[in-house]
Amino acid sequence: MIIQSSLKNCFQLSHVLRIPTAGLKCAAKGGLILQSVSNDVYQNLAIEDWIHDNMNLENRQVLFLWRNSPVVVIGRHQNPWQECNLKVMRQNNIKLARRRSGGGTVYHDLGNINLTFFTSKKKYERMENLKLVVSALKALRPQLDVVATGRYDLLLNRDFKISGTAAKLGRTAAYHHCTLLCCADKLLLSSVLKSPYKGIKSNATPSVPALVKNLFEEDSTLSCEMLMGAISAEYATHHQIDHCIIPINPADEMQFPGINIKTKELQTWEWIYGKTPKFSISTCFNMIYKQSCLEVKVYMEVKYGKIEVCSIELPQQWLPPDLCDELKKNLIGSKFCPSEITAVTSALLRTGPQDYELHNKWNLLCEKVIMLM
């Protein structure tokens, strides 16, 4: 594998990537292989957007290789509360990202490779790309049993998923991106992709869970570097271009004008959580107070990630209705998010009942409501 830092024998990157303005059209044709120097998911997703929006892909195909630090990546139309365990993610410092393509939820870490195939909309062909990946794997290890399925997964030994696919089709440009599991943390993968939240109803796209395997489990001599080298070599042969991988820095505003705004947007709460399709949650929990247990029923409707409707049912004799109403009133309009609800309830508790027992009961109720998020 040749990683070109000098860009000798490669297209001049600045020339190739610059936005085509009225007078400046990117002249270079053929294929291009880029690899991100960043492991930041938001930067890498932003580069995908940037290439999609700014590069002239009419006569050029681009393969972009990238890896991320631990993150769960949900599809454009998904509900993170339905798809993953946000508590476990917070505890393990695993980020959450929403991508612009549709489809299901996947887990990434440095043991997972991402491949993005950019083409014009006309040349967009997912099966061709997956066949290229299969050929690359076969070239590296002929004994591997890897096949592409009708839903564009790659399966190892018939039963185990090693790659998942999603795509974005623009007006003229398109990209198909897929994962490839080399040696990701499977324990974390399965624990973060299990939602503990019950009673959610929505029209969000559900994921299709599968048994997964790392290629490393089949052959422990394989590494991400070898896999990326083999895939880029296959891509170069297929497109009759030099096998050179151009490293790119997705924080380079000079090279990618406007990239930092794109990165910031992908990091906002409004994009990650706020784009969740409207949903409702109908659940109940038990509260133990002074050796007695009572059941609390909660119903909420959440739109743009914010609580729109809220009802909390609990015995009147336990907590005066006006206190419960006060809590509901303050929850409406707040983000369905533990840090925001903690701030809201802490402010309420400061001005709330001075009576020691009522204060404790109210505090307990607030804590339980926060745990739903």
- Across the beta sheet with 200-202, what order do the strands follow? 200-202, 279-289, 292-303, 306-313
Nearest approach in angstroms of CB 168 to ligand LAQ is 10
Question: Which of 2, 210 has the CB closer to ligand LAQ?
Answer: 210
Size of the site for ligand LAQ (CB under 6 A): 26
Q: Are 156 and 218 in contact (CB under 8 A)?
A: yes
The residue from 196, 199, 209, 333 that contacts ligand LAQ (CB under 6 A) is 209
Cross-strand partners of 36: 248
> What is the rounded distance in angstroms from the CA atom of residue 237 to the CA atom of residue 243?
8
- Which of helix, strand or coil describes residue 363? helix
The residue from 35, 61, 179, 232 that contacts ligand LAQ (CB under 6 A) is 179
Nearest approach in angstroms of CB 82 to ligand LAQ is 12
Burial 111-134 (b: 16+ CB within 10 A, else e): bbbbbbbbbbeebbebeebbebbb
164 binds ligand LAQ (CB under 6 A): yes
Nearest approach in angstroms of CB 246 to ligand LAQ is 19
Which window, 205-213, 233-241, 289-297, 298-306, contacts ligand LAQ (CB under 6 A)? 205-213
161 binds ligand LAQ (CB under 6 A): yes
Which window, 208-216, 258-266, 305-313, 353-361, contacts ligand LAQ (CB under 6 A)? 208-216
Number of CB atoms found within 10 A of residue 157's CB:
12
> What is the rounded distance in angstroms from the CA atom of residue 291 to the CA atom of residue 332?
31
Nearest approach in angstroms of CB 102 to ligand LAQ is 9
Nearest approach in angstroms of CB 273 to ligand LAQ is 18
> What is the rounded distance in angstroms from the CA atom of residue 30 to the CA atom of residue 35?
17
The residue from 43, 82, 163, 276 that contacts ligand LAQ (CB under 6 A) is 163
Question: Which of 212, 365 has the CB closer to ligand LAQ?
Answer: 212
Nearest approach in angstroms of CB 285 to ligand LAQ is 27
What residue spans of 150-223 are helical by DSSP H? 186-192, 215-218
54 binds ligand LAQ (CB under 6 A): no
Which window, 11-19, 102-110, 290-298, 348-356, contacts ligand LAQ (CB under 6 A)? 102-110
167 binds ligand LAQ (CB under 6 A): no
> Which residues in the chain belong to E strands, given as ranges?
2-3, 30-36, 60-66, 71-74, 95-98, 106-108, 112-120, 146-148, 154-156, 160-163, 165-169, 173-181, 200-202, 244-248, 279-289, 292-303, 306-313
189 binds ligand LAQ (CB under 6 A): yes
Q: Which residues fall within 8 angstroms of residue 114, CB to CB, at 6 or more apart?
A: 44, 65, 66, 67, 68, 108, 177, 178, 179, 180
The residue from 106, 148, 300, 302 that contacts ligand LAQ (CB under 6 A) is 106
Contacts of range 53-57, beta carbons closer than 8 Å, 24 or more positions apart: 53/170, 53/173, 54/17, 54/19, 54/20, 54/256, 55/17, 55/20, 55/26, 55/118, 55/173, 56/20, 56/25, 56/26, 57/118, 57/119, 57/120, 57/172, 57/173, 57/174
Which window, 106-114, 293-301, 309-317, 345-353, contacts ligand LAQ (CB under 6 A)? 106-114
Which window, 56-64, 160-168, 248-256, 300-308, contacts ligand LAQ (CB under 6 A)? 160-168
80 binds ligand LAQ (CB under 6 A): no
214 binds ligand LAQ (CB under 6 A): no
207 binds ligand LAQ (CB under 6 A): yes
70 binds ligand LAQ (CB under 6 A): no
212 binds ligand LAQ (CB under 6 A): yes
Positions 107 through 126 that interact with ligand LAQ (CB under 6 A) = 107-108, 112, 114
Q: Report residue 330 as tokens.
A: 């303050």
What residue ranges bind ligand LAQ (CB under 6 A)? 73, 99, 103-108, 112, 114, 161, 163-166, 177-179, 181, 189, 193, 207-210, 212
